Every structure is written in C-alpha cells, then in structure tokens.
C-alpha cells in the first residue's frame, strides 16, 4: 500500500512543475491577457467608485437582497436597462505578487496532496506510470478546472475564458500526472 508519506517527493515536484508551467502560461504565452478589457470611460468609473469609498468585497449591480424583490417591476426594469455586473473590489495599492504567488504554490501542493491521496487508495506500489498519470491527471484536472466552470455558470465569466482556463487545467493536470508517474513508488 502507498501512503501519502511515500508520495512527498512527487507532491512537491509536481507542485513546482505546475508553478513553473503556470508562470510560462501567464508571463511568456500570455494567452489570458485578452480576457480582460478596459472600460472606455475607466477614469470616470474609477472616480465614481472612489467617491463612494466602498470596502473591498464583491458587489452585484443591480443589487437585489432576496428572490422576492427580484419579481418587482422596478428590479426587472433595472436588469433590462443594465448594466448587470459582478464587481470585485480589492484593497487600494500597487499589486504585490508575493502573496498571491505563495497562495498559488500552496494550492498546487494541496491539489497534489489530494490527487496523491486518491491515487494511493486505488493504485499499488509499482503501478505502471501510464495508469498513475491517468488517475492523477484526472483528479488534478478536475480540481484546477472546476472553479472556472462555476464562475462561468454563476458569475457570467465568458465561456472563452473558461475554455482557456480548462486548457490551463489540462496542462497542469498532465504535468502533475507525469511527475507522479515518473516518481511513483516501486
């Protein structure tokens, strides 16, 4: 039987592989850059939000506190007139990539731990590398892709962006599976 302790090296190595691969995706290939667009009147929008001084968080526009209110003619008109938006406001200040990168690396570790756990329950020591890749890559892909699909369904994330996130997830899943297949305990 394979234990999680037996998998410490593939867990760490696959997390590093995914971290490096994601850096290439975002800093070299940059296929997500076109996913984010600027508003034509960005300065006006920024000024208006600054005047309101809302706390960091998520905001709905138009906001309706309950489903009953959604049926009112006024609320229905607001939705027809638009805009309809989910707005995420972050703390002011220049972006500091240190914390998000550390959180991303920790997440890649967590994904590898769970994928390794599943594989350790269904695969014996000495399992063929292709079978290890199949199990690990499937679990990792599902984990990396799931959040983006939910954002497409519930938050209106464009499906083109979701598809690119799924491609990223496929690459990350395959990288995770390949490392585990290579380093699976004999």
- Interval 23-64: pLDDT, tens: 999 999 999 999 999 999 999 999 999 999 999 999 999 999
Q: Is the pTM of this model over 0.85?
A: yes
Give the pLDDT band of residue 109 (cuts 50, 70, 90).
Answer: very high
pLDDT for the residue numbered 13 = 98
Tokens encoding 141: 């892909």
Using DSSP's 3-state secondary structure scheme, residue 125 falls into: coil
21 φ, ψ (degrees, to nearest 5): -60, -45
Write the pLDDT tens digit of every residue in 111-139. Answer: 999 999 999 999 999 999 999 999 999 99
Average pLDDT over residues 84-91: 94
What are the residue ranges spanned by the domains of the chain? Answer: 5-36+96-183, 42-89
Q: How far apart are CA 178 and CA 133, in angstroms?
A: 5
The reported pLDDT for the residue numbered 113 is 98
Tokens 């997440």, residue located: 107
- Backbone phi, psi, residue 61, to 5°: -135, 120
Q: Indicate the DSSP class of residue 129.
A: H
Task: Tell me the pLDDT band of 4, cut-offs 50, 70 and 90.
Answer: very high
Model confidence band, residue 182 (pLDDT cutoffs 50, 70, 90): very high
Q: How far lies 37's CA from each of 34, 60, 67, 78, 89, in Å?
A: 7, 19, 31, 24, 16
Q: Establish whether the linkage from the previous residue to 63 is cis, with ω within 30° of 0.
A: no
| Among 33, 61, 19, residue whose Cα is nearest residue 161 | 33
**Contact between residue 144 and residue 110 where contact means Cβ atoms under 8 Å apart:** no
| Residue range 171-179: mean pLDDT, rounded | 98
| pLDDT computed for residue 43 by the predictor | 96
């Amino acid at each position: 039987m394979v234990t999680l302790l037996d998998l410490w090296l593939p867990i760490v190595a696959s997390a590093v592989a995914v971290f490096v691969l994601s850096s290439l995706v975002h800093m070299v290939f940059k296929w997500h850059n076109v996913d984010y667009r600027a508003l034509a009147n960005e300065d006006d929008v920024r000024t208006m939000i600054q005047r309101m001084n809302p706390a960091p968080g998520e905001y709905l526009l138009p906001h309706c506190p309950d489903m009953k209110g959604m049926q009112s003619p006024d609320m229905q008109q607001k939705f027809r007139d638009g805009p309809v938006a989910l707005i995420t406001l972050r703390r002011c200040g220049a972006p500091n990539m240190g914390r998000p990168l550390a959180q991303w690396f920790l997440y890649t570790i967590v994904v590898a731990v769970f994928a390794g756990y599943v594989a350790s329950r269904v695969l014996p020591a000495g399992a063929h590398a292709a079978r290890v890749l199949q199990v690990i890559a499937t679990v990792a892909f599902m984990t990396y892709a799931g959040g983006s699909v939910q954002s497409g369904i519930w938050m209106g994330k464009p499906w083109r962006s979701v598809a690119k996130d799924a491609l990223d997830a496929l690459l990350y899943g395959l990288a995770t599976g390949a490392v585990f297949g290579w380093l699976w305990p004999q």
